[in-house]
A and B are shown apart, each in its own frame.
Chain A
């Protein structure tokens, strides 16, 4: 995400608000629940860990209730205007997003990026959809009296593959985030350096701070 020569230290200048309190809380709660789901899933799914940890009923309960709670902050957060605005931006793919995705040099700033780049938008919508599919299939597996056995087999199949996909998305998300200290600061404190914003999200930076000062 960041240019290779940029570290966190040099950018001490002006900062701009990137994430409101609502968005940061939704992100934090979702992250905590997601980690809980992933850790318990590892115990439930991996045979060696499962036998080592045991306590299947307790682990299963934590997994089920973390999973049921996972969409809650995503929905309750909609009372926050800043979060609503962020979801609206993530939802919308513009012609520039498609061009950005097709471009081989998408990181060089030629195609100006709004508040979120197309990769972030894809990650958000794929994650949200996967969470929904996991909730659906997980419910079918959990309430065994609800559906015929063939559906539960299908639900296990869906749950397995969506979990793998979402796990990969989360790993990718973490890898991208840890490569960019300013992005991490942004989601933690809500503020990012304006210079970083101009480089990574030029169109958004112009939107919140106007045109960059022209250099003589």
Chain B
């Protein structure tokens, strides 16, 4: 109702708007801070205008809400338009655009040491018969499993159809010989801080890899290389980067993000929000 009144005022104001400058000065000099919508005054500056600022604010809020509700589709549409442009862009400037389907690099510590083929070690210990320490070459010598699966972050971003390759975690566990009291595994990172856990059943899923390759090449340092976990059915925080240790434990020990509120059983679509996601 108020909007209607304001509208009619502004319509009148626009008609007489030219008189604004001429008529305002004496009145304004006496009432410098007076509101425009105050008591009707014959000397009142006629062109009070319309509340465009408020409309812009409300419009942007509406746009934001709409984007949240439909954003997955909008983002897909935008990506299909922008991706070919980015590929052909010689300046590289369009890569600064926040187009979806790209990895965002998370690291929870300061600088992470670099490990290569000579310095990398993966220990498998805890409740196992044969504690082992594996080099990169040891891992490369084992049977490799390849997958093409999405990488889904709990905060919403997703990289579809990433190519992954590595050793199934179940194979490493069998190799070490899990003792009967083993219930879970605790994963550690050579960043010195990050940890995460899986139950033994989860760790034995066929799409849980100790990944040596992703995106068609060796896992790079920024992606958690030379060796990281890729737990395909779960959110990204379960896929420990810079993997350095696998310890079999008799109970699930909360990991880094789980200690900060995320679900331990981080299955995509059935945790941290509990709604079936149609795409994964």
Contact = CB atoms under 8 A, between A and B. Distances in A.
B69 A207 contact: no
Nearest to A81: B33
B39 interface: no
Chain A CB count within 10 A is highest, among B35, B48, B57, for B57
B29 A207 contact: yes
Contacts, number: 218
B261 to A, nearest CB: 8
A154 interface: yes
Contacts of B109: 54-55
B71 A154 contact: yes
B206 interface: no
Given A132-B64, A145-B272, A206 B108 contact: no
Contacts of B262: 144
Contacts of B221: 51
A50 to B, nearest CB: 5
B157 A156 contact: yes
B50 to A, nearest CB: 6
B177 interface: no
Nearest to B14: A95
A61 to B, nearest CB: 10
Interface stretch (A5-13, A122-130, A175-183): A122-130
Interface stretch (A31-39, A134-142, A187-195): A134-142
A42 to B, nearest CB: 11
Contact of B273 (A56, A96, A149, A164): A149
B107 interface: yes
A153 B72 contact: yes
A152 interface: yes
Contacts of B156: 141, 149, 151-157
Nearest to A140: B68
A121 B56 CA distance: 10
B155 A156 contact: yes
Contact of A56 (B61, B106, B269): B106
Given A56-B106, A155-B156, A95 B64 contact: no
B72 A133 contact: no
Contact of A148 (B58, B108, B275): B275
Nearest to A160: B98
Contacts of B222: 47-48, 51
A97 B49 contact: yes
A128 B57 contact: yes
27 contacts: A47-B103, A48-B105, A51-B222, A55-B110, A56-B108, A57-B256, A93-B50, A95-B47, A128-B57, A129-B57, A129-B60, A137-B67, A144-B154, A145-B272, A145-B274, A147-B273, A149-B269, A151-B69, A154-B72, A154-B74, A154-B156, A155-B71, A156-B71, A157-B156, A160-B100, A206-B21, A207-B32
Given A54-B107, A97-B49, 18 more contacts: A44-B104, A50-B104, A50-B106, A54-B110, A55-B110, A90-B53, A93-B50, A94-B49, A95-B47, A130-B60, A149-B268, A153-B72, A153-B100, A154-B72, A156-B71, A157-B72, A158-B64, A207-B29
